[in-house]
Amino acid sequence: MSDELERFLANARGTAATAKILSLDELRVHRGAEQTDASWGLAALRGRLVELSARGATATLTAAIEIVAEAQTQAEPVAWFTLGNATFYPPDVADSGVDLASLVVVRAHDATALARGAERCLRSGAFGLVVIDLGASADLSMQIQGRLVTLAQTHDAAIVCLTDKTEDTASLGSLVSLRAEALRTRERPDFAVTVRVLKDKRRGPGFTQTLKRRGPPGLT
């Protein structure tokens, strides 16, 4: 492991001890969670390949950032993989409570390259959460998905894939253990983010969680 990576991991794991990062309970109160459940959240996603999708008034980025912030409260290093033309605006992410110094962001040219980069991070055993923003290019071979699932289970890590599709569109594949959609509704002056579980191999579908947020203009 390089000295630079070791320094990053030491900083990321120390994030939870800093005063500016809220505890998980405080974070939920601060962000207006109307209900919480073991069906959603980092603990529920560990060891699994998860797909978070929506089309239209989407809130996939917002919902994913919630999980990133939660991981950081637990001193878990996080890696975010995104396509070169995808939306990822660091100031908005920081405004949502994420410590950018403890977040690895990698851009690649296609979905396969994103997945291979994610595999390398997971294989190190150092990351508790990996987010792969596939956007509309939502296509990962079953071979790649199989490797991701094996690594997630081996290292007790969560893999969250963000896709742009409607709820009646097929998921990435049968190896997706949990699929949810995240939609945004306007409730002036704030907005609400609703995460609805469409598929859950462990607990069954049907769980819904709504968060009331005052979001920055670029984060949707």
Digit-coded pLDDT (tens) for 12-34:
666 544 434 444 444 343 333 33
Q: What is the pTM of this model?
A: 0.81
The domain spanning residue 136 has which CATH number?
3.40.50.300
Is there a domain that residue 61 lies in? Answer: yes
Task: Say if 165 falls within a structural domain.
Answer: yes
43 located within any domain: yes
Indicate the DSSP class of residue 23: P
Strands (E), the chain: 48-54, 78-83, 103-108, 129-135, 158-164, 178-187, 190-200, 208-213
Q: Which domain holds residue 122?
A: 3-213
Mapped onto helix, strand or coil, the DSSP state of residue 158 is strand
Count of domains for the chain: 1
pLDDT digit string, tens, across residues 164-210? 988 889 999 999 999 999 988 766 667 788 899 999 999 888 888 88
Residue 218 within any structural domain of the chain: no
pLDDT in tens, 80-96: 999 877 767 788 888 88
Angle at 200 between CA 117 and CA 88, to 5 degrees: 40
